[in-house]
Amino acid sequence: MKPGRSTAPQVGRGAKVRAAVHAATLAELLDKGYAALSVENVAQRAGVHKTTVYRGWKDRDSLLTKALAEHIAMDIPVPDTGAIETDLRALARSLVQTFTSPTGQAILAAMFTGAAHLPEIAAARRHVFGDRLARVESVVTRAIERGELVRDTDPAELFRTLAAPIYLRLLITADPVDEATADQAVRVTLAAARAGALRSAPDGEPATG
């Protein structure tokens, strides 16, 4: 798993370097905070030359944005359990696990404190969320096919409803965030979906999608 192993083919080596650099970025962030994050430190920790990092990443904000997006995408797999309730529970619990881990806490801190004023970080927040949204759409599509959700259920609205109470607790109220939080988010989301409150065009207007 070492990034420098020379027997790996080119494409594998590129992927390994990327993984090592992203891991080093998050580790530096976790250890030293955003202010001390630098291309030099990341390169040293990843065991690669500084110029290698500059070839693949423009600067430290590019490192941070890409590392965050990839870490969160990998950390939250798309479940396919055969039922919407267990799929959503797996998703919500993954989200909770991600953001209550030490790395997740460092990610939240980076996204919302020192680095939060950067347009790149605001873009990363949207990007990370949008990326997860695209990946989770199949969960809703399959539930519609199984007849568990009405046809015009809006995947984006459903996923926002699922994630919102978790982020609220993490960012605002500082209430505990655990499996019960995840399961409660599922209950609320499913109740809303079943009542028709998560349709593409609410208020009884015909859906145009």
* Footprint on this chain of a second copy (rule: CB under 8 A): 112-114, 116-117, 122, 125-126, 129-130, 157, 160-161, 163-165, 167-169, 171-175, 183-184, 187-188, 190-192, 194-198, 202-203
Q: Which of residues 8 and 192 has its CB atom nearest to a second copy in the complex?
A: 192
Least distance in Å: CB of 143 to a second copy? 17
Closer CB to a second copy, 44 or 100, in the complex: 100
CA distance 17 to 42: 12
CA angle 200/82/158 to nearest 5° reads 25
Three-state DSSP state, 180: helix
Is the Cβ of residue 8 or residue 30 nearer to a second copy in the bound state?
Answer: 30
Closest distance to a second copy from the beta carbon of 112 (Å): 5
Tell me how far apart the alpha carbons of residues 75 and 77 are, in angstroms, rounded to a whole number: 6
Nearer to a second copy, 3 or 165 (CB): 165
What is the number of H-type helices and E-type strands within the chain?
9, 0
* CA distance readout (Å), 104 to 36, 49, 69: 18, 27, 12
CB of 93 vs a second copy, minimal distance in Å: 15
